Every structure is written in structure tokens, then in C-alpha cells.
Amino acid sequence: MARYGMVIDTARCVGCMDCVVACKTENGVPDGYCRDWITEEARGRFPTVHLEIRSERCNHCDNPPCVTCCPTGASHVEAGLGRIVLVTHDVCIGCKACLASCPYDARFIHPEGYADKCTFCAHRIQKGEDPACVAVCPTRCMHFGDLDDPHSEVSRLLEARRNHALLPEAGTGPRIFFLT
């Protein structure tokens, strides 16, 4: 069974926000909302300041707190599609427990009332295509694939390069990795 994830090369990302625009266009994300976003993290002491630019989104965690706290089963792990985390809109009651449970603040309430977030472009990956953000990235810094397949591009990159995930200490098992 596949376990989809993403690997993003922070040495290549320039924070152009093409991924954000592509996602909004592809998924009809309403004005004023976004499913993915850019984070800039600066650390160090001048003149040796290190800047990491990251394209962030739902981490489709191995141990998703949004799924365990959902009272209706609207938030669920899609076992047949790389164990990505999805929300069934007409099962969601908009209680917002999932928003409060996500350490990445990756979710929001869609103006129509249901909890919304990145789906890894489920409709595209079902057809064997990359998520829209990966497909449009002009620096080719984003990679999508099966983390459980040792021969996949994402597994090979993780094997070859130093990387980190976000807030692994939160215990959620995030599946987006950033190459450094």
C-alpha cells in the first residue's frame, strides 16, 4: 500500500509562490484563503544568517490528530490513495476540532462551512499526475511520490540528502520533508 509524501528542496526554492497560485487555481480556493503557503525562516548571527524558504501545506500525517478528533469521520485517511488525509464535505459539521488539533495550522473553514485543506490534488494523483504545486514549480524543487517505495524519487532524495520535517516532536508523523 502506497504512502504518499512530498520532498521539497529548500536549496532551490525561491519563494516565488507559484505553488500557491497553482493550488488556488487548480482547486478553486476562495479569495482570502490558501491551502499552501510560503514560510521564511531566518536563523543565525550576522553575517552568517541562514534563510530557509519553505512551501508548506497539510503534512498528511501518519498519525493525523485531525482524523482522531473528528466526531463524524469526515476527516479520514484515504487508504486506497496513498493514505492521504481528506475531508468529506457533506459529513463535516464544521466543529473546528480538526483546526485546533493541527500543529501546522494547515486547515481552515471554507466559506461554505466545511473544514478544508490540501488534498495533494487527489483528483490529479488518481490520474497519475503530480499535484498542481509540484507540476508548476519553476525551480523543480518539489517532488511527490510514494515514501514506502525505496526506488521512488522521494525515497532516493531522502536517502541522499540531509532533510527535516516540521515539528516531528509533536508526534504526528508528518510526510512532507525539506531537503537542506
Partner 1 sequence: MELSEITVHRMNPQIDPGLHVWGWEIPVYLFLGGLVAGMMILGGHLLVRGHGRRPQSVCHRLPALAIALLSLGMLALFLDLEHKRFVWRLYTTFEITSPMSWGAWILLLVYPALVAAFLVARGTLRPDLARRIGQLNMALGALLGIYTGILLSALGARPLWNSALLGPLFLLSGLSSAAALVHLLARDREEQTLFMKADNAFLATELVLLVLFFLGLVSSTRVHLEAARLFFGGPLTALFWVFVVGLGLVVPLVIQPLAVRHRVAHTAVAPLLVIAGGLALRFVIVYAGQMSHWR
Point out which residues bind partner 1 (CB under 8 A). 15, 17, 20, 32-34, 37-46, 49, 65, 68-74, 90-97, 99-103, 105, 107-109, 112-114, 167, 169-172
Q: How far apart are CA 133 and CA 20, in angstroms?
A: 7
CA terminus-to-terminus distance, the chain: 28
Q: How far is the CB of 141 from partner 1 (least distance, A)?
A: 16
The span from the CA of 40 to the CA of 14, in Å, is 10
Give the residue with the Cβ less far from partner 1, 39 or 139.
Answer: 39
Cβ-based nearer residue to partner 1, 79 or 91: 91
CB-based contact 155:149 (threshold 8 Å) = yes
Dist CA 127 CA 52 (whole Å): 32
Q: Which is nearer to partner 1, 89 or 126 (CB)?
A: 89
Residue with smaller CB distance to partner 1, 73 or 126: 73
- The helix/strand/coil state of 20 is helix
CB of 136 to partner 1, least distance (A): 17
